[in-house]
């Protein structure tokens, strides 16, 4: 089990899995209900969220951590080019409202740290939950079926709760790394995030009914997701533990996204 956890803490997995978690549920459910899978739209969305994650990570290292040596400008330019070209092609293929929402997401990515750094604030958490939990999943679903239903919005509630819990955990750990976290606030954020995760798992099971597999998939979802979230209960005291936990959060979030989507469909 320890070897699995160490593997899931790898930084490369964080970079890859964090963006995929933001579109995973909407994309999987949308593809399952589409008359014809829109492979190009799917690939464009993957490029958008992956390059967007890299751009956000560059800004985080440069403006938040002050580690300018780890943010080479040529690589940032390449990521920005991939992000803008993919977004432009995606916009031409879909409704203008989808383009408007995607545009707002791109603006959020680029103003989060500069010129006014509002990262780690309440506004940042709310916007992150809005875009990463709701908007991107809706765009992913729309890219396959050209509509967004009320049923989907209700189904996204557990995913939104998980994003909220992940943001609370991330805030707690990043403030710890920057030595700006009061002890009492850290305990409160940790406890609140675990409570939100518990509600999300239970609500995900409820919304997955009725089952088409005699509840086999639903039981697997609860068991595996709960096991994936258990390491998050451990308290961190050292900087390297906080960084490992930050990396693991993305793996746990992706695990939830994938298994909840399967539980919801089957």
pLDDT confidence of residue 104 = 95
Whose structure tokens read 């798992």? Answer: 201
Lowest mean pLDDT, pick from 81-85, 113-117, 254-258: 113-117
Question: Which of 222, 159, 161, 164 has the alpha carbon at shortest distance from 28?
Answer: 159
Q: Which long-range contacts (CB under 8 A, 24 or more apart) does 56-61 make?
A: 56/109, 56/112, 57/15, 59/109, 59/110, 59/112, 59/113, 59/114, 60/113, 60/119
Could you give the percent of the chain with pLDDT greater than 70? 90
Asked if pLDDT for residue 185 goes beyond 70, the answer is no
The structure's pTM equals 0.92
Mean of pLDDT values over 55-83: 82
* pLDDT-derived band at 258, boundaries 50, 70, 90: very high
* pLDDT-derived band at 171, boundaries 50, 70, 90: confident
pLDDT confidence of residue 144 = 95
């Amino acid at each position: 089990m320890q070897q699995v956890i160490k593997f899931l803490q790898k930084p490369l997995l964080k970079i890859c899995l964090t963006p995929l978690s933001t579109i995973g549920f909407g994309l999987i459910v949308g593809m399952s209900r589409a008359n014809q899978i829109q492979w190009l739209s799917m690939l464009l969305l993957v490029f958008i969220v992956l390059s967007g994650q890299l751009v956000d990570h560059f800004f985080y290292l440069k403006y938040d951590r002050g580690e300018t040596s780890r943010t080479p400008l040529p690589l940032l330019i390449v990521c920005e080019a991939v992000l803008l070209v993919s977004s432009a092609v995606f916009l031409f293929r879909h409704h203008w409202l989808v383009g408007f929402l995607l545009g707002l997401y791109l603006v959020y990515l680029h103003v989060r740290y500069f010129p006014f750094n509002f990262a780690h604030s309440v506004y940042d958490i709310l916007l992150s939950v809005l875009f990463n939990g709701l908007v991107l999943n809706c765009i992913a679903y729309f890219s396959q079926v050209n509509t967004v239903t009320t049923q989907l919005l209700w189904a996204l509630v557990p995913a939104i709760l998980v994003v909220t819990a992940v943001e609370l955990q991330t805030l707690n750990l990043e403030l710890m790394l920057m030595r700006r976290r009061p002890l009492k606030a850290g305990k409160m954020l940790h406890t609140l995030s675990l409570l939100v995760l518990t509600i999300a798992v239970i609500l995900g099971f409820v919304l997955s009914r009725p089952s088409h597999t005699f509840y086999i998939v639903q039981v697997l979802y609860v068991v595996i997701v709960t096991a994936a979230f258990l390491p998050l209960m451990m308290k961190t005291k050292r900087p390297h533990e906080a960084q490992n936990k930050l990396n693991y959060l993305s793996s746990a979030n992706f695990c939830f996204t994938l298994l909840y989507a399967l539980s919801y469909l089957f």
